[in-house]
Amino acid sequence: MKYVLMFCDTPELYGEVDEVAAKAVHEEIWAWFGEHDAAGRIADMGAHLQPVTTATTIKSGDGAPVVARTWPPLKFPGVSVEVRPIVDYSGDM
């Protein structure tokens, strides 16, 4: 099974993030994508998602992410990652 990760934030909380820290995390984000792309974990775009009832949302807990720990912005308030399965049409062909 394949999954999509949807990276979410809360614009109203941007003011709570130090500008220098935000710039550093932005650089970490590009490194994160580069690392996962090189490892073959970045898939094609435009996938059909399974219903929202199948989703899992990851938020930080007590200041540290509970899971998906490597997504750099999870250290900031209002940031989450939604993990949702992709519909597999391979059996329909």
91, β-bridge pairs: none
Range of the domain at 71: 3-92
Position 88 scores a pLDDT of 84
Q: What is the pLDDT of residues 19-73, one digit of tens each?
A: 999 999 999 999 998 998 888 887 666 678 888 898 888 776 565 555 577 888 8
**Which residues, 6+ apart, have CB-to-CB distance to 32 below 8 Å?**
70, 71, 72
The DSSP output letter for 66 is S
pLDDT of residue 63: 58
Q: How many domains does the chain have?
A: 1
pLDDT for position 67:
53
The tokens describing 19, both together, are 């500008």
* pLDDT score of 80: 86
Is the pLDDT at 78 greater than 70? The verdict is: yes
Running DSSP on this structure, what letter comes out for residue 34? H
